[in-house]
Structure 1
Amino acid sequence: MTELRLRGHEGVTLAAHALGDPAAPPVLLLHGGGQTRHAWSGTARALADRGFYAVTLDLRGHGESDWSPDGSYRAAHFFADVEAVVATFAIPPVIVGASLGGAIGLFVAAAKNVRVRALVLVDIALRAEMEGVERIVRFMESGSGGFASLEDAADAIAAYLPHRRRPLRVDGLKKNLRLRDGRWYWHWDPAMLQSLKIGDLRASGAFVDAAKRLDVPVLLVRGEQSDVVSEEIAREFLEIVPAARYVDVGGARHMVAGDANDPFTQAVVDFVDDVVRAAG
């Protein structure tokens, strides 16, 4: 695994991990809001093992990447960051994006001036069930004051994800938390919740317009038990992008890769492999 530091929009430094041969066809993986590049560990490893160059990126304001210097997290900033990263690849990458990362990936893939080979959308479509979105926001806001211990953070995650088994060891949470003044805080800028405008794009119809402009292979992956992307919403997307492939991952909710990593990863790796082989 190689640590990368990439230049984003207006000088923001973005942290990334890379696995595989840099000369191989690239796959850029973009996590969801409040997550980090570590959410893709299993999938990135499987892609590298299949012969791809897997790059997992911390979005601005997340993980080890810089926070926005002015505290603003407008959609255009995220898009410009990812466009800058895409431009560093000699070969157009496949973009795999979950939730926020998928929204970014959709707009980048639809841009006329950006070269992308294919797009995988993970539990993100043209709109979202607001009850599921509000549940995510409540969880993100609940940790704004930090946690006294890693055990407390693990308890908060277990309450948010009751369908998952609570880990016996909590040391792994250090990848997603920062210790500051004796308390553990999530690895993202709290200002993001106040200024993030991705939801406004959905409401404005810009998602539909971008989806109609897609001219690359697309895979939509939904968690079968997702409370963010319903079956109805997935079907609406497929009506707009009829050539897209669709996978419903059993046993998974909104955080598909974390809930059912093996079937999720298999679907993604097979799709990427098909797309690359078809392109010769």
Structure 2
Amino acid sequence: MSSPPIADAYVQDETAFRSYPGARAPDRQGVVNANGVKLATYEWGDPDAPPVLLVHGALDFARTFDVFAPLVADAGFRVVSYDQRGHGNSSHAALYGWVADERDLLCVADSISHKPIPVIGHSKGGSLLIHAAEALPHRFTRFACIDGMPYRSPHPDSAMHERRYMSPKIISDWLSHRHTAATATRKPASLEDLARRRARMNPRLSHEWLCYLVTQGAQPSDDGWRWKLDPAIRPGGFGAMRSRWMTDRLPGFPIPLIALFSTIDEPMGWDCKLEDIQPYLPPTAQAIAMADTGHFVHIERPRETAQLVIDFLRS
């Protein structure tokens, strides 16, 4: 018997991995126009429940919250998340940068409510929210940070550190990438192979979860599955943003804060551990190191993480 056509194999893969224990698709989906960039939004919970904004990390997308978000929603909240520009189902853009991401975040927040709202951020999403809350404290009421506190450079001479960060090689590599980004495409693979690639970055997450993640964050074509992430986006880069600008202001952080920290290093991880940042946290902040847990705290330990966040939001 001949093998099934390639396209049929992708459909079979998709059917097998479209569900995952505890994962729940959003109750509603929409689009927010952020100054011409269409941002895909997702909501779990009663539309009339108190809202909370949930922000994902770099190179990720909102559907990574498919287990965590329903747990928070079932506690009586309207949980709203979105794909950042160039991620997931949101539009690709000509510009990617910290300030652009913050403007998008505020557009989504404004679409939820013009009153102050609580927020939750993972990884880069946490640091984005810290900067936004420090700049606009009247827009937010409480902040739960999941392994996303900004890392404070140990270099006392920040100018020396900046020179290293803005070295000719780093700038040249970034510009070379930008020159080819317009015609670049993501490398195709079978659904399971794409999951195995992601496992190199997230070795603590199960193969079944990573396969489910592919069905949400990638799309099939004639030659295989590809991540939806814009090829123009890459880790690192350079621009007008330094974490010290946030950490120097942390002692006076203007709203209640809970910060959860990973304790296991992994390739797709975060530089900041609890011991790194604790001296700069405000005295009222709750800071918890999650034992034997990697960067994706809310995926490894969704119920415990959700309960900590729910208790904080209700306090």
Answer whether TM exceeds 0.5 for this pair: yes
1:114 to partner: Cα distance: 4.9
SS of equivalent to 1:18:
strand
Amino acid at match of 1:50: A
Deviations 1:172-226 (CA, angstroms, capped at 9, x unpaired): 5221113345232222112122775579422xx2122453553111111111224
Partner of 1:222: 261
Distance between the aligned counterparts of 2:102 and 2:126, measured in 1? Answer: 11
CA, structure 1 residues 164+22, in 2 after alignment: closer, same or farther (shift >3 Å)?
A: closer
Partner of 2:246: 207
TM-score (normalizing by structure 2)? 0.73
Distance between the aligned counterparts of 1:189 and 1:147, measured in 2? Answer: 14
Partner of 1:74: 97
Partner of 1:105: 129
Q: Number of aligned residue pairs: give it.
A: 256
User: In terms of mean alpha carbon deviation, does 116-125 or 154-163 score higher?
Assistant: 154-163
On the 8 A contact 1:16/1:58 being kept in 2, the answer is yes
Partner of 1:138: none
SS of equivalent to 1:28:
strand
On the 8 A contact 1:30/1:96 being kept in 2, the answer is yes
1:1-280 to structure 2, matched below 5 A, reads 1-8=27-34, 10-68=35-93, 70=94, 72-88=95-111, 89-112=113-136, 114-127=138-151, 145-167=186-208, 170=211, 172-180=213-221, 182-193=223-234, 197=238, 200-202=241-243, 205-212=244-251, 214-226=253-265, 228=270, 229-238=272-281, 241-274=282-315
Amino acid at match of 2:274: E
1:28 to partner: Cα distance: 0.5
SS of equivalent to 1:156:
helix
CA, structure 1 residues 53+242, in 2 after alignment: closer, same or farther (shift >3 Å)?
A: same
SS of equivalent to 1:189:
coil
1:107 to partner: Cα distance: 1.3
Partner of 2:168: none
Bigger CA radius of gyration: 2
Q: Which runs of 5+ in 2 are unaligned?
A: 1-26, 155-176, 178-184
Deviations 1:218-259 (CA, angstroms, capped at 9, x unpaired): 111111224532232242342xx2221112222311111122
1:105 to partner: Cα distance: 0.8
On the 8 A contact 1:99/1:122 being kept in 2, the answer is yes
SS of equivalent to 1:167:
helix
Amino acid at match of 2:126: G
Amino acid at match of 1:98: H
On the 8 A contact 1:43/1:261 being kept in 2, the answer is yes
Deviations 1:139-160 (CA, angstroms, capped at 9, x unpaired): xx9xx74232112112212333
| CA RMSD in angstroms, aligned pairs only | 2.8
Amino acid at match of 1:36: F
SS of equivalent to 1:250:
coil
SS of equivalent to 1:193:
coil
